[in-house]
Amino acid sequence: MEKYRTRKLLIVAGLALLLVALAVPGARAFEGRGGDVVVIEADEVIEDDLYVAAGEFILMGTVRGDVIAVGSSVIIEGTVTGDLLAGGQSVAIEGTVEDDARIAGYALSLEGEVGDDVIATGYSLQSRSDAVIGGDVLYAGYQTLLAGMIGGNVEVGGGAVQISGEVAGDAKVDVGGAEAGDRMPPGFPYMPTMPRVSSVPSGLTVTEDASISGNLTYTATTEVDMLGDVVAGETDFNQYDPEEKEGKRGPGGYVGRWFLRQIRRLIIFLLIGAVMMGLIPDWTRKMAQRSETEPLLSLGWGVVALVAFGVLMVALVAATALLAGVFGLITLGELAGRFAVLGGLLTGAVGFSFSLLWRYVTAIIFSVLAGRLTFRVFHSSAESQRWLPMLVGVIIFVIITAVPILGWIAKLGVGLLSLGAIWLWGLDWWKQRQAAPVGAEA
């Protein structure tokens, strides 16, 4: 099990490095494509490695080398003779990847052929019945549905895993403390602009159509009922024990948890960024532009906004206590409790709203700015796109803020800079609103 946990950590660390690699192209010769939609037609052959940054990327032709792609949607319908490194909201392999596939995203789909290993992380990985994978499958995420043919071993860590295909080697699965049988609604979690995914029952499910030629080792809360002789080798069940796992953690465990925290942060910020760029893209880019053009002014007003929030919270608490006391004296306590509850709800709502603004909204505004500046350095037209600057910027933000001490300073600076830009926007909006009646009368 220790070896298995180490492999899972390598998956996470490797995919984290993959995301960095997607953001920073290498120095060797390659062909680059960019734009809102990039399509490599079926009759096109690229005799080199291909780097793509696009809102939507579809490969129908042939690339005689590696493909490194990042975008909202990445679809491989043609042939890649080398490795595929891809990240986006959705990544689908419907054609052929002759070497390894290293993919990261919300919805990952395998319908074609991968010549060697598949290393992936995300919310959902689905290997369909016609998929053929020549090597191993290593995956860390929430849910996995493995059908088709897998020529090597399977190592999966998640909350919902279903095996219904053929595994030529061993299968190692860790579903932790997930309760077996519960199923998310189809398409959960209903995020705007996010692709819908199949629903997989939580825990480990091995269907009667599955075939595991090697051994099956799994960690779960309860044993799995096997239908028929689906496992040719031995089956080893490990009872999930959170206290035992906590007690056995050494330095490697702390490092592993640090990596997992950064991956979770990356996923959370990407989801929030997707919501903001899906619902309020113009406002988000406007705040990023304000932060860039007036950085010192934004920082200064950010400090003012932070102090104003503190004063507001103190005022709300004081007003709640005062009103509760006054009405308690006047009505002999009949309305005191109600005013105390109302004041507590209002104070809690204001504090919660500001915490979302400070922790997440400001981070996405900065991420959009960082992504645009990065593409500007490389003279890329992707600077003006909706999704790519946010995606690259979130990666940069997570990496910077993961560094001890420097990360805390960076978070404070990012929060003040973006908060100040929002404050300035609010002041402009208020001035325009106040000036509107004057203009109308004139």
Are 30 and 49 a contacting pair, CB within 8 Å?
yes
Which of 38, 19, 9 minimizes the C-alpha distance to 270? 19
Please report which helix (H) or strand (E) contains residue 145, including its range: strand 137-146
The reported pLDDT for the residue numbered 17 is: 44
Q: Which two tokens stand for residue 154?
A: 């399977």
The reported pLDDT for the residue numbered 184 is: 52
The reported pLDDT for the residue numbered 69 is: 86
At 411 the three-state DSSP class reads helix
Do both 299 and 391 map to the same domain? yes
The strand ranges marked E within 42-127 are 45-46, 50-59, 62-63, 67-76, 79-80, 84-93, 96-97, 101-110, 113-114, 118-127
Half-sphere exposure of 4 (CA within 13 A, CB side): 20
What are φ and ψ of residue 183, in 5° steps? -130, 130
Do both 284 and 167 map to the same domain? no
Do both 234 and 125 map to the same domain? yes
| pTM across the whole model | 0.58
The reported pLDDT for the residue numbered 284 is: 92
Torsion sign over Cα 184, 189, 190, 193: negative
**Residue at 254 is within a domain:** no
Q: What is the pLDDT along the chain (442 residues), one digit of tens a residue?
A: 444 444 444 454 445 444 444 444 433 444 667 667 889 999 999 998 898 877 789 999 999 999 988 777 899 999 999 999 888 788 999 999 999 999 988 889 999 999 999 998 888 899 999 999 999 999 988 889 999 999 999 999 888 899 999 999 999 998 887 776 655 544 444 445 556 777 888 889 999 889 999 999 998 888 887 766 889 999 999 888 766 555 455 554 566 667 777 877 888 888 888 888 878 889 999 999 999 999 999 999 999 999 998 898 888 888 877 777 776 666 555 566 666 677 778 888 888 888 889 989 999 999 999 988 988 887 777 788 888 888 888 888 988 888 888 888 988 999 999 999 999 998 988 888 877 665 444 4
Do both 176 and 39 map to the same domain? yes
Do both 335 and 369 map to the same domain? yes
Do both 208 and 265 map to the same domain? no
Burial of 333 (0-12, 13-18, 19+ CB in 10 A): exposed
Tell me the sheet residues that pair with 113: 96, 132
- State the pairing for strand pair 62-63/45-46: parallel
Residue 308 CB contacts under 8 Å (≥ 6 apart), including other chains: none
In angstroms, the CA 277 to CA 151 distance is 40
Are 301 and 436 a contacting pair, CB within 8 Å?
no
**Residue at 76 is within a domain:** yes
Domain count, the chain: 2
Do both 217 and 81 map to the same domain? yes
Which of 97, 65, 91 minimizes the C-alpha distance to 78? 97
Do both 60 and 134 map to the same domain? yes
Do both 225 and 355 map to the same domain? no
**Residue at 442 is within a domain:** no
| Among candidate residues 211, 227, 248, the one where a domain is terminated | 248
The reported pLDDT for the residue numbered 25 is: 40
Residue 308 belongs to domain spanning? 260-435
The reported pLDDT for the residue numbered 6 is: 46
Burial of 432 (0-12, 13-18, 19+ CB in 10 A): exposed
| Among candidate residues 221, 248, 275, the one where a domain is terminated | 248
Size of the chain, expressed as the number of residues it contains: 442
The reported pLDDT for the residue numbered 338 is: 67
| Among candidate residues 219, 248, 277, the one where a domain is terminated | 248
At 116 the three-state DSSP class reads coil
Do both 145 and 284 map to the same domain? no
- Using CA atoms, how far residue 430 sits from 166, 435, 440, in Å, is 63, 9, 16
Cis, peptide link before residue 437, omega less than 30° from 0: no
Do both 304 and 244 map to the same domain? no
Please report which helix (H) or strand (E) contains residue 160, including its range: strand 160-163
The reported pLDDT for the residue numbered 353 is: 87
**Residue at 441 is within a domain:** no
In angstroms, the CA 137 to CA 101 distance is 10
DSSP secondary structure letter of residue 229: S
CA dihedral 347, 353, 357, 361 (to 10 degrees): 170
**Residue at 301 is within a domain:** yes
Do both 336 and 376 map to the same domain? yes
